[in-house]
């Protein structure tokens, strides 16, 4: 159940809060949230990551925009914006501007039907201050969930009819039915409660397995669709934060980590890791504006 091959280290950078890693257009991109940087991951251990964009506010995660190379939809600052190839940000909505406590966006992802979903959280992790938002293909932004403390993910099944969302502060991953036509969520059920550490970034694979980085444990876990723990990957960093499946065959598990909050970070805290796995995943889904074709 536990991986025995040591993970490879990608790049010389050690990120403060590395998250939001996605495999897209033949490469991995990721964020260093609080520094506002969108990075392309290094191919090996000897070079730094490449800066794709530098924003003057936190950057949680991005999704590519279908048919628009170099454009991204981003969970950033207090809302959702579009980033162009020059790194300029155009706001779509900033729903957390007037929140009673200072807020920022955290994780986010596009679903198989072309919508973008992103969560918000309080800087001081105030309980229940966070929300989950959905950017529809027509550009409308809707708050779909309230009373989440630290939302991470979401992650979707291949057909987009199931969404997994972690509330990291509570150590729980919930599973929601999704109406594929409207994006409306049904009644959730608890999928997994993590006994140690906090579930963080997530992704699904071609067999319906769910991978999650487990913050505070130095591990990534794979769960089967029935919620049973299938595999553990040990990592030489205490705070794994985000992950995806990528590489030419989709069988490379890429994991970000963070050194924020550590009194004495180790040499690999904040590094990006690569581990070979058996079951592949797909490249990141794209945000698909309403004028694009309707086929997922």
Number of neighbours of residue 168 by Cβ within 10 angstroms: 31
**Cβ neighbours around 118 below 10 Å, total:** 28
Binding residues for substrate: 104, 106, 124
Residues making up the binding site for a divalent metal cation:
19, 152, 200
CA dihedral over 183, 186, 190, 191, signed as positive or negative: negative
| Catalytic hit among 32, 111, 200, 269 | 200
Pull the structure tokens for residue 91.
Answer: 């706001």
Q: What angle do CA 290, 154, 13 make, to 5 degrees?
A: 105
- Known catalytic residue: 200? yes
Which are the contacts of 21, defined by CB distance < 8 A and separation ≥ 6?
28, 29, 30, 41, 201, 242, 243, 244, 254, 255, 256, 272
Place of tokens 């030419």: 248
What is residue 264's three-state secondary structure? coil
Instruction: Provide the annotated binding site.
Output: 19, 104, 106, 124, 152, 200
Catalytic residues: 200
């Amino acid at each position: 159940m536990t991986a025995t091959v040591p993970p490879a280290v990608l790049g010389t950078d050690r990120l403060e809060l590395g998250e939001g890693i996605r495999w897209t257009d033949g490469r991995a991109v990721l964020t260093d949230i609080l520094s506002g940087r969108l990075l392309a991951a290094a191919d090996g251990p000897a070079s730094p990551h490449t800066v794709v964009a530098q924003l003057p506010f936190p950057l949680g995660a991005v999704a590519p925009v279908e048919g628009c190379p170099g454009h991204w939809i981003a969970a950033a600052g207090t809302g959702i914006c579009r980033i162009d190839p020059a790194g300029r940000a155009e706001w779509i909505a900033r729903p957390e501007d007037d929140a009673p406590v200072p807020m920022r966006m955290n994780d986010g992802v596009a679903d198989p039907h072309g919508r973008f979903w992103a969560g918000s959280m309080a800087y001081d992790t105030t309980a229940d201050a966070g929300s989950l938002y959905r950017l529809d293909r027509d550009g409308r932004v809707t708050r779909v969930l309230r009373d989440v403390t630290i939302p991470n993910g979401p992650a979707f099944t291949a057909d987009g009819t199931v969404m997994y969302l972690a509330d990291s502060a509570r150590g729980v991953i919930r599973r929601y039915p999704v109406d594929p036509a409207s994006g409306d969520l049904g009644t959730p059920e608890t999928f997994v409660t993590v006994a140690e550490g906090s579930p963080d970034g997530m992704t699904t694979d071609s067999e319906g397995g769910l991978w999650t980085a487990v913050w505070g444990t130095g591990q990534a876990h794979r769960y089967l669709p029935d919620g049973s723990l299938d595999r553990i990957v040990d990592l030489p960093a205490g705070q794994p934060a985000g992950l995806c499946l990528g590489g030419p065959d989709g069988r490379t598990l890429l994991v970000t980590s963070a050194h924020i909050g550590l009194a004495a970070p180790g040499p690999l805290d904040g590094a990006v890791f690569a581990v070979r796995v058996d079951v592949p995943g797909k490249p990141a889904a794209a945000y698909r504006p309403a004028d694009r074709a309707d086929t997922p």
